């Protein structure tokens, strides 16, 4: 028993080292920009870079758009499937998992062929059109996570009873969805939203191949041309991911607490 426990400790400690050391290494590296002293110079340079500001804001905007469109698409669908089309559930679930099967790079390859400037729907012909395509692409990428999140939320409440109760009080479907269902799965939705944010914010493949000035390609560009700034950007990215996951934790813990 005692010996066992030592093995457990070793596994956890080695694992933690593997995960913490690169972060420390990166952080230390990011402070080395000025010769001989530790400084936040790299951060200052990055934050002051107009290209950084532009690409970061662009990606934040894109992430928000992705979340909104994704939710508009997924919440009613998941609700409807749960309520009226139970037999369709395996099929819908299968479709939502497809983006995990088809690699992103393959998907964007298909987009480029299907929606190029000489096709029936020339989305890539204009910057605005490409933005739309990119957003839809991100919705696709986020589909597995968002759907799962929303579905879990819906399964934890009794959708049918809630709906029937509301219907018997004379509420219409839109009212039911917005006033009854949404508030009840709020934390599930928030979880899905922040996960999506974490995925979209630094995404590289789609943005790079669709040639849009997003944060991911910017990171790559800086990485190829600078020494210390990439490390600073990495720490910032990690902080963003961490914040997203932290919020998800808090949100779902609140839900668990509410249920008790």
- According to the binding rule CB under 8 A, does residue 257 interact with other proteins? no
Candidate residues 45, 54, 95, 125; the one interacting with other proteins per rule CB under 8 A: 95
* Interacting residues with other proteins between 101 and 140 (CB under 8 A): 101-114, 136-137, 139-140
Residue 4 binding other proteins, by CB under 8 A: yes
Q: Where are the alpha helices (DSSP H) in 123-228?
A: 127-156, 159-168, 173-175, 182-184, 186-201, 205-209, 215-225
Structure tokens at 232: 């600073």
Residue whose token pair is 């899905």: 192
With CB under 8 A as the contact rule, the residue among 198, 212, 251, 255 that binds other proteins is: 198
Ranges within 39-68 binding other proteins (CB under 8 A): none
The rounded distance, in Å, linking the Cα atoms of 161 and 159 is: 6
Nearer to other proteins, 40 or 204 (CB): 204
Residue 159 in contact with residue 82, Cβ under 8 Å? yes
User: Among 192, 234, 236, which residue's Cα sits nearest to residue 66?
Assistant: 192
Contact between residue 96 and residue 143 where contact means Cβ atoms under 8 Å apart: yes
Cβ atoms 168, 103 nearer than 8 A: no
CB of 208 to other proteins, least distance (A): 8
Q: Does 76 bind other proteins (CB under 8 A)?
A: yes
Instruction: Kindly calculate the radius of gyration of the chain based on its CA atoms and give it in whole angstroms.
Output: 22
Least separation in angstroms between residue 127's CB and other proteins is 19
Q: How many residues bind other proteins (CB under 8 A)?
A: 85
Count Cα neighbours of 221 within 13 Å in the Cβ-side half-sphere: 14
Would you say 57 or 98 has its CB closer to other proteins?
98
Using CB under 8 A as the binding rule, the residues of this chain from 160 to 189 that contact other proteins are 172-174, 177
Angle between helices 229-259 and 186-201 (to 10 degrees): 170
Residues 44 and 31: their CA atoms lie apart, in Å, by 11
Nearest to 46 by CA among 239, 206, 247: 239
Q: Site for other proteins (CB under 8 A): which residue of 100, 127, 169, 256?
A: 100
In the range 6-45, which residues lie near other proteins by CB under 8 A?
A: 7-9, 11-12, 15, 18-19, 21-26, 28-30
User: Considering only residues 63, 193, 248, 251, which one is a binding residue for other proteins as defined by CB under 8 A?
Assistant: 248
Binding mask 201-240 for other proteins (x = CB under 8 A): -xxxx---x------x--xx--xx-----xx-xx--xx--
Output the six-digit token pair for 233: 């950007």
Q: How far is the CB of 15 from other proteins (least distance, A)?
A: 5
Cβ closest to other proteins, residue 21 vs residue 47: 21
CB nearer to other proteins: pick between 21 and 57: 21
Nearer to other proteins, 185 or 248 (CB): 248
């Amino acid at each position: 028993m005692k010996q066992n426990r030592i093995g457990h400790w070793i596994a956890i400690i080695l694992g933690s080292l593997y995960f913490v050391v690169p972060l420390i290494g990166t952080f230390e590296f990011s402070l080395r920009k000025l010769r001989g002293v530790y400084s936040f110079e790299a951060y200052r340079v990055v934050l002051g870079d107009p290209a950084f500001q532009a690409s970061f804001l662009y990606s934040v905007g894109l992430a928000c758009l992705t979340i909104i469109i994704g939710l508009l698409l997924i919440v009613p669908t998941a609700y409807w499937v749960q309520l009226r089309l139970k037999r369709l559930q395996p099929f819908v679930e299968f479709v939502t998992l497809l983006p995990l099967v088809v690699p992103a790079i393959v998907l964007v390859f298909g987009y480029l062929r299907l929606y190029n400037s000489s096709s029936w729907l020339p989305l890539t012909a204009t910057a605005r059109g490409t933005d739309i395509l990119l957003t839809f692409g991100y919705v696709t990428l986020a589909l597995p996570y968002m759907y799962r999140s929303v579905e879990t939320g819906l399964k934890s409440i009794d959708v049918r009873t809630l709906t029937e109760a509301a219907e018997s009080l004379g509420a219409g479907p839109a009212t039911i969805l917005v006033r009854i269902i949404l508030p009840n799965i709020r934390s599930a939705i928030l979880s899905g939203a922040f996960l999506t944010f974490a995925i979209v914010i630094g995404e590289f493949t789609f943005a790079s191949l669709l040639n849009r000035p997003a944060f991911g390609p910017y990171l790559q560009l800086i990485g190829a041309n600078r020494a210390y700034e990439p490390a600073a950007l990495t720490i910032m990215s990690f902080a963003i991911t961490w914040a997203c996951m932290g919020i998800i934790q808090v949100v779902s813990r609140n839900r668990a607490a509410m249920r008790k």
